A and B are shown apart, each in its own frame.
Chain A
Amino acid sequence: MRGKAWILALLLVAVAAPTWAATEIKFYYPVHLTGPLVKEIEAIVADFHKANPNIRVEPVWGGTYPENMQKTVAALQAGSPPDIAVHLAVDLVTLRDLDAVIPLDEFVQREGGEKFLADFFPGFVSDIKGDGKIWAVPFQRSTPILYFNKDLFRKAGLDPNKPPTTWDELLATAQKATLRDASGKVITWGLTIPDDIWLVMSFILQNGGRTSSPDFKKVYLGEKPAIEAVQFWVDMANKHKVMPRHRTFPVSVQDFAAGNTAMLIHSTGNLRFVRDSAKFEWGTAFLPKNKRQAVAIGGAGFYIFKKASKEKQEAAWQFAKFATSPEIQARWNIGSGYIATRRSAFDLPLMKDYTGKLPQALVARDQLPYALPEMSTHDNWKMRNIFVTTFQEILDEKYTSEEGMKKAQAEIEKVLAPYQK
């Protein structure tokens, strides 16, 4: 009897096996808002499973962008990288240096090639191309936008429907909106910008400057437009005193939500947080221009890894395609504040309804025609670290803008030297 039972069991297993033989893929992703955003990702994965019963995605939250990158590199070293992961567009260089990811042209061709790509906003596709190939699918993209507190504007005698559009207006508005008490101590700041290189980049671009070369080998921080842009920022903090120094990325959003600053320059990815926390009337606007209207694109996309088997790569592509479809992108936009990467997403009734109720959400999309790729080079994180720490030292008046930027330029050139082939 025992023997027969075993045979029966084996037969059952053999019959059931095909359904077990679902392709499993491991998926690393970074989101900064663990409560709601992790749930959104898990919902996307669950919906994908329903539509694709023969693929199972194992989503693994990897922390913040740099942490997620570190996990991927660690996994690469251990010989077991993920099959698909969301990484910054600027991480493309590093991932290619490590020979970790595959170009996606074949998959894209299958979906219709240019026609497929045309539905993505051009800005989002421009920075994931290298050597004429496509290396990622845009998933969570963002630009910085200007948030402003309409109540505080009114209080300062400013028109709540006229946010500043140029650098001069920005300074003037900030000066008017900075409230001080009798002894001169600041009660509310006119403007807050966190010490983030992504935002400094935007200022440089607005001043007609350039940040890095398309071949990832050079930076242009020592040029006049870059120095002037930094000087403008530093003056707002130190000379005109309308901005606090060294606010971190998360603390600055908090300050805005708490009503401690009239204006905030920050990622559209925080829209949800502001929406949920602000107890005042608020608006969003383009970043003010100087010599031109410009803004650096940020955010990440799906990369598929070389080490995965052909089968897993195919499964990964299916998932990437699903998650970047208009419907899912619309949901993701609403849930997070990241800009839906597909044009057609904005035509969906779901989106139209959302943006009808929250027009602030459209600003980031409307700013896209002026969006330029983010600064990116080989050894990207080291380069950024040098840039941001030198920038902080300039803010602390350890160096003048010119000295500091030239110093950063020199140091970064040293880091990039091995790549100048």
Chain B
Amino acid sequence: MVLPLLWIVLTAFKERNEVFSLVPQWLPARPTFNNFLGVLDAMPFWRYYWNTLVVAFGLLAIQLMTITLAAYAFARMEFWGRDVLFILLLVQLMIAPQSTVIQNYLTLSGLGLLDTRLGIMAPYLASAFGTFLLRQTFKSIPKELEEAASLDGCGGFRFLAHIAVPLAVPGYLAFALVSLTYHWNEFFWPLVITETSKARTLTLGLGIFAQTAEGSADWTMLMAATLMVIAVPVLCFLIFQRRFINSFMQSGLGG
């Protein structure tokens, strides 16, 4: 499992023609940083990086708001049609944006949001997954707590904001990690919706780079680019291992 990772790390430091030997040399003969420099030359790496940060975190910020409200309603409120609406919500879990690509593309085109970061975020602003996860969390808050708070004058929205949300932090964390990972790594939807490097994200930048002559013929540069793209997720993962794994575990059990 670790072999592929090791192999590409080593390849990224080799000179271009070194990799063409029939017997793989594991260690680079003359380690060089040129490939990394070449990548920065061949694509607007930092712009992609910034775009990805904006998309991932901006999206998360909006998602936190939409899922909090929706999850709370589904978890703790009674209203007519609740179950039917909940099923409608879950539709999003089974239809990934790759399937609705054509129409979403046409919609965003009509709204003038093609090739924008907001366009990349659009289909995900509502998150069935997040709502589902958070609903579980909210559901587990004892009713007595809510009633007591209500008597103290902290009912309804204030209860949500001041008590329920802080109690649900583990759920938020789990969702945040899964959402950030997913959107940092997304390729296909940004491919369809962006046209230039204006809004392009990092992963997509890597994919497009691979289709160019440098990317497809120059393995060492491609591996360097790959390394630069996965560096952040992998490093974050190594530091916050337990949290990440727990988050994904929760997502599997909850979903």
Contacts and interface: CB of A to CB of B under 8 A. Distances in A.
A364 B217 CA distance: 22
B20 A33 contact: no
B109 A33 contact: no
B230 interface: no
B43 A34 contact: yes
Contacts of B196: 60-62, 71
Nearest to B105: A74
Given A71-B195, A78-B114, A253 B109 contact: no
Interface stretch (A103-111, A119-127, A255-263): A255-263
A385 interface: no
Interface in B187-246: 195-197, 208-209, 211-214, 216-217
Nearest to A71: B195
Contacts of B112: 78
Contacts of A420: none
A34 B42 contact: yes
B195 A34 contact: no
Interface in A56-115: 60-64, 67, 71, 74-75, 77-78
Interface of A, secondary structure class, is helix
Given A63-B208, A259-B20, A260-B20, A273 B213 contact: yes
Interface in B40-83: 41-43
Contacts of A259: 20
Interface in A243-279: 248, 250-251, 253-254, 257-260, 270, 273, 277, 279
Contact of A250 (B20, B109, B217): B217
Interface string B90-114: 0000000000000001100110101
Interface in B9-41: 16-17, 20, 38, 41
Contacts of B17: 257-258, 277, 279
A34 B214 contact: yes
Given A78-B112, A258-B20, A33 B212 contact: yes
Contacts of A270: 213
A254 B217 CA distance: 5
Contacts of A62: 195-196
A248 B210 CA distance: 13
A64 B109 contact: no
A293 to B, nearest CB: 28
A253 B20 CA distance: 13
A35 interface: yes
Contacts of A33: 212-214
Contact of B212 (A34, A75, A248): A34
A250 B208 contact: no
A307 interface: no
A32 interface: yes
Nearest to A272: B213
A358 B112 CA distance: 49
Size bracket of the B interface: 20 to 34
B214 A257 contact: no
B106, B112, B214, most chain A CB atoms within 10 A: B214
A248 B211 CA distance: 11
Contacts of A253: 213, 217
A285 B208 CA distance: 32
B47 to A, nearest CB: 13
A249 to B, nearest CB: 8
Contacts of A34: 42-43, 209, 212-214
Interface in B100-145: 105-106, 109-110, 112, 114
Given A61-B197, A78-B114, A277-B17, A35 B214 contact: yes
Contacts of B110: 78
Contacts of A260: 20
A253 B214 CA distance: 11
A251 B16 CA distance: 14
Contacts of A248: 216
A307 B235 CA distance: 48
B212 to A, nearest CB: 5
Contacts of B16: 277
A9 B17 CA distance: 60
A3 B20 CA distance: 71
A71 B110 CA distance: 15
Interface string A220-260: 00000000000000000000000000001011011001111
A17 to B, nearest CB: 27
A251 B217 contact: yes
B114 A250 contact: no
Contacts of A74: 105, 109, 114, 195
Contacts of B214: 33-35
A284 to B, nearest CB: 18
B137 to A, nearest CB: 41
A57 to B, nearest CB: 14
A250 B41 contact: no
Nearest to B210: A250
A257 B41 contact: no
A217 B42 CA distance: 40
Contact of A63 (B20, B42, B109, B211): B211
8 contacts: A35-B38, A35-B41, A35-B42, A62-B195, A63-B211, A74-B109, A273-B213, A277-B16
Given A75-B195, A248-B216, 14 more contacts: A33-B212, A33-B214, A34-B209, A35-B42, A35-B214, A60-B196, A61-B196, A63-B208, A71-B195, A74-B109, A77-B106, A257-B217, A259-B20, A260-B20
Interface of A: 32-35, 38, 60-64, 67, 71, 74-75, 77-78, 248, 250-251, 253-254, 257-260, 270, 273, 277, 279
In the complex, the 5 A-B pairs of residues with the closest C-beta atoms, listed nearest first? A250-B216, A258-B20, A35-B42, A254-B217, A33-B213
